[in-house]
Structure 1
């Protein structure tokens, strides 16, 4: 662990530019190597073709000059000395006029006038031949063209040049080197600016993360990037920072809320018992005060139980007892139990829509009833006890759904993303209903523990609909 911490870190810009430049240089060197081989090969072939054409031209010119007479010995005519410049060679090749026996009659190099060519070499069918000098280990190319008069050979035009001279193309190598270096610089510059464009938003996100770590959630990140991945990174980070800021606010409110919610019953109990203890109230009134103290104690006990139960489910240590139940009957019983414990007015209506056929699912009966009762309580409070609640059992290809729809005021849009956050309570609910804000998060955990889920389907000024999903198969439903 210490070795990993002490290992120096490289910036993304340096990491990519250096490695890309290295890979680019290696690739360009390989390309340059094969390009040099190809240039040398094609240059040698082209110059050999030019030498062959020159030899044929010289042979035709000598036929015209001699008109069939023996070719005199002496210096090569002046025009032969200028032929090398047309070949674009670093040095002039040896040009010799030889007789049919291989004896040199004339040449462009007087010092090589006594040069003797083998008859075997001259009689070879190949116009272009490659020879090796055993003494110097140097390779040469020989180009020979016969001099004929009236279809009879009268001599040979022989051109001789080393392979190294034929392959010499310094200017082309310079151009190739300039091109390779130019490509390397352009490639490096391109990857530098692209890496800089990539690393800049990442660096900004890293700096913003340090700000959040320090407790500052007011960050400003530009999310106008055209690249999809960069946009998603920055946008997701901004959303995460907003959510963390909201959760931090919720945590602060939680401390105040839990303190307030627990302090209120404690204060009430203390005042009631003090009145009884000091004799402020006596007889039936004292009994009433004690009864109120017990009720406040039960409320406080319920809050503590909710905290303990939620923590147990959140840490996945509470087992769920899954058994097979018929869902229609179970929902009917749960709704009935809720109705008999609530005083409802004539303006309130509760309707249950059951499936047309019996549906058996593996669930924890008590836990499912707990979710349903919590949803019914929330719906009843949202309508102030006046309106209509519908409970509908529906089925899909792979699941069964229990929908609870109310005709209340709905949930404000700004509160919708947080309704399943632990300890979150809407502004209106804080003023009217005591609690810790664990009802919906706790219900969602219970549903997920039964391989299902609790989902907010829709909410508006006309009402809200929640849905409990459980695995099952498709059936139709009918009104109960």
Structure 2
């Protein structure tokens, strides 16, 4: 069996990871800072030892002038506290050239060696030495300065301190730990608040998505988000929900509409034929009833054909035959074909063709179907008037506009006119049909490399634009 993954909230997920990243970063900073503090402290204390050695040498030479015996030189060093430092407490020796300790800043313990000759190598400077004590090695640093009289070496000033004392910085480590701890708390608080601010609108969108899943498209999402990505997420989700709501309404209307549109001719045919069969009408009336039944049959065949054509185009099952066609002649033929089947002349067609011959890449049958559908829609939109077809040559396309003088398409319907099975309020009850005409026409236009779009629509009329690619010339 598959084990179900345990889900965690977005706030906990990102906060924990941000916090881990923060702690790792602070740990690295702490390590580097501690090493830097240790190194800096060590260097500073070595400099203090060197300063002590230089100061002692200066006082010795300045006080006695090296005129008396060597035993009198360090007479002022007896006060140990005079040379005690706050951070360290080094040992200071004044020795002769043989390494015998003449004096020190602290009493020499009984049994300790009175000679430090092994520390003298004839050179001044700072040196690290390792001293063995009861089998354990102890690192020390010694600062050496020469005592000279008349350019002649008469003794040495030695300052010694253990390495552990030079690098001991407990107080600084404590301050560093306090600072890092404060930064960790502050960083965690900032990360938590920022993550909470980020996840709040996402949680709202998630809750709204659950409502949409349950069929409820009425919800409230804030639109005052300052973050661009969050604002786009919320706005896009609301637009998606509105579109889903519209599609849901369209689906519901589709079932009722298709049922009604197909039921009506079936009922009419059944009633007309039943009247003829039962002898309710005879002679010429019976022939007229049969003719009416044939008309209703033709209407039903047309609607079923539209459904089949739409399904075929939706799955790209209809082959398209592209060829180079003169656009002016194509428009003339399409208009003539449409006018022939009209039973009245309430709608006039005006054409404005191109001044010169231009070939387009098109399927003649499909283009004529699109033009026929646009002209039929224009006629349905007005009792009488003029439909103007205008051709305009562009860079690599030819634009065909179909402008009527009807009542226009309501603003709220314009975004959905190319949706399958959508029928606006103006046509829903006035004109029978399935709402596939514009959707199918757009598919046909796109199948030949062109496009169909609504250019504009207002109470003074509607204009559609059909664009076709120019035929390539060899």
TM-score of the aligned structures, taking structure 2 as reference length: 0.92
The CA distance in 1 between the partners of 2:144 and 2:46, in whole Å, is: 11
State the shift of 1:409 in Å: 1.8
Alignment of 1:208-357 (within 5 A): 208-345=208-345, 348-357=347-356
Measured in 2, the distance between the counterparts of 1:352 and 1:450 equals 23
In 2, distance between residues paired with 1:471 and 1:142?
93
Aligned twin of 1:380: 379
| Residue in structure 1 matched with residue 160 of structure 2 by the alignment | 160
* Structure 1 SS opposite 2:293: helix
- The answer as to whether partners of 1:395 and 1:472 remain within 8 angstroms in 2 is no
1:443 aligns with 2:422: no
Aligned-partner Cα distance in 2 for 1:41–1:59:
27
Measured after TM superposition, the shift of residue 198 of structure 1 is: 1.4
Superposed displacement of residue 152, structure 1: 4.3
**In the TM superposition, what are the counterparts of 1:5-404 in structure 2 within 5 Å?**
6-68=4-66, 69-72=68-71, 77-86=77-86, 88-89=87-88, 92-111=89-108, 114-118=113-117, 121-125=120-124, 127-133=125-131, 136-149=136-149, 151-345=151-345, 348-386=347-385, 388-404=386-402
Moved more, 77-86 or 287-296: 77-86
1:167-204 CA-to-partner distances (Å, cap 9, x unmatched) read 11111111111222222222222121111111111111
Q: 1:7: Cα distance to partner?
A: 1.5
* C-alpha displacement of 1:268: 1.2
Q: Which deviates further from its counterpart, 368-377 or 335-344?
A: 335-344
- SS of 2:353's partner is strand
- Measured in 1, the distance between the counterparts of 2:10 and 2:231 equals 18
Equivalent-residue separation in structure 1 for 2:35 and 2:247 (angstroms)? 68
In structure 2, the residue matched to 1:454 is 452
Q: Please report how far the alpha carbon of residue 369 of structure 1 lies from its aligned counterpart in structure 2 after TM superposition.
A: 0.8
Q: What SS class does the counterpart of residue 116 from structure 1 fall into?
A: coil
SS of aligned partner of 2:429: helix
Distance in 1, matches of 2:114 and 2:400, equals 110
Name the CA distance, whole Å, in 1 between partners of 2:65 and 2:295.
Answer: 140
CA–CA distance in 2 between the matches of 1:115 and 1:24? 56
Deviation at 1:322, TM superposition (A): 2.0
Residues 42-86 of structure 1, C-alpha deviations (whole Å, 9 max, x = no match):
111111112111211112222344342123278873444332224
Residue of structure 2 equivalent to 1:477: none
1:119 CA displacement: 7.1
- Range with bigger deviation, 462-471 or 235-244: 462-471
Q: RMSD between aligned alpha carbons? A: 2.3
3-state SS, counterpart of residue 129 of structure 1: strand
Equivalence for 1:425: 423
Would the aligned equivalents of 2:95 and 2:155 in 1 still touch at CA under 8 Å? Answer: yes
Q: 1:344, CA displacement in angstroms?
A: 4.8
Q: CA deviation at 1:271?
A: 1.5
| Equivalent pair of 1:392/1:402 in contact (CA under 8 Å) | yes
Count residues in correspondence: 467
Deviations 1:184-231 (A, max 9, x none): 222222121111111111111111111111111111111211101111
SS at 1:226 equivalent:
coil
- Give yes or no for contact 1:59–1:157 (8 Å, CA) kept in 2: yes
Paired with 1:140 and 1:394, the residues of 2 have a C-alpha distance of 97
Per-residue CA deviation, residues 224-272 of structure 1 (Å, 9 max, x unaligned), is: 1110111111111111111111111111111111111112111211221
Shift of the alpha carbon at 1:8? 1.5
Write the distance in 2 (CA, Å) between the matches of 1:418 and 1:396: 28
User: Please, which moves more after superposition, 153-162 or 274-283?
Assistant: 153-162
The 1-side partners of 2:225 and 2:65 are apart by 84
Gap regions ≥5 residues in structure 1: 475-480
Shift of 1:151: 4.8
Answer yes or no: is the 8 Å Cα contact 1:75–1:108 preserved in 2: no
Are the counterparts in 1 of residues 360 and 471 from structure 2 also a CA contact under 8 Å? no
Q: Please, which moves more after superposition, 214-223 or 390-399?
A: 390-399
| Alignment gaps of 5+ in structure 2 | none
In structure 2, C-alpha distance between the alignment counterparts of 1:415 and 1:225, rounded to whole Å: 30
Give the structure-1-normalised TM-score: 0.91
Query: How far, CA to CA, are the matches of 2:98 and 2:404 in structure 1?
Result: 119
Structure 1 position 432, deviation (Å): 1.6
Find the aligned partners of 1:334 and 1:247 in 2 and give their Cα distance. 33
In structure 2, do the counterparts of structure 1 residues 121 and 395 end up closer, same or farther at CA, with 3 Å as the change threshold? farther
Q: Which residue of 2 aligns with 1:478?
A: none
Greater shift in the superposed pair: 192-201 or 77-86: 77-86
Give 1:160 deviation, angstroms.
0.6
